[in-house]
Amino acid sequence: MDTSFYDSNLFTFVLLPALIFFSRVMDVTIGTIRIVMVSKGHKLWAPILGFFEILIWLIAISKIFENLDNWFCYVAYAAGFACGNYVGLRIEEKLAVGIVKIQIITRMNAEKLINNLKEAGYGITHHEAKGSTESVSIIYSIINRIEIKKVEEIVKASNPKAFYSVEDVKFVKEGVFPVRTATNWRIRKGK
């Protein structure tokens, strides 16, 4: 077997660090998504993702140990870790797994906002309250995380100066949620 390729500068200083970098990006990305699945209670996905995360990590770290004198591998390993965190968070943001509670506080009359949320199919609870300087209306709704942008658009269109916050919710029992169609799920029929 010809080992001259593996001893070449191209392999040692370019290809091997690139492989380590991409391996690290993949395993950290998978790890980030796995942590989200654990926090959301997805008991099936977390161990499956964990298996592949560690398998890829073992391959990357074994290459580091085989090349302890190559500092390019160290840099690639660290850069892959940093990039993997970023990629994992971006993917998790796009997946938008889980449910959230949105709390909207408005000083204006909240009827228009309440009606717009109800018309869009969202279940809401609201009450009048006393703020630090004046009376306010507080509106609560439990929504699927993927719906945050849509609810934000309704809030901004109905009451642009409303204050709102979003919190993760691990579990809900019953409730009013908008009916989803195939387009809401972004399902595309195969060719």
**Architecture of the domain whose range is 99-169:** 2-Layer Sandwich (3.30)
Q: What is the DSSP string of 57-83?
A: HHHHHHHHHHTTT-HHHHHHHHHHHHH
Q: Which amino acid, residue 161?
A: K
- pLDDT tens-digit map of 11-38: 777 899 999 999 999 999 999 999 988 8
pTM for the full predicted model: 0.67
- pLDDT tens-digit map of 40-98: 888 898 999 999 999 999 999 998 888 888 889 999 999 999 999 999 999 988 888 88
Cβ atoms of 82 and 24 within 8 Å: the answer is no
Q: Residue 139: count other Cβ atoms within 10 Å of its Cβ.
A: 22
- pLDDT tens-digit map of 106-119: 988 899 999 999 99
Residue ranges of domains in the chain:
4-95, 99-169
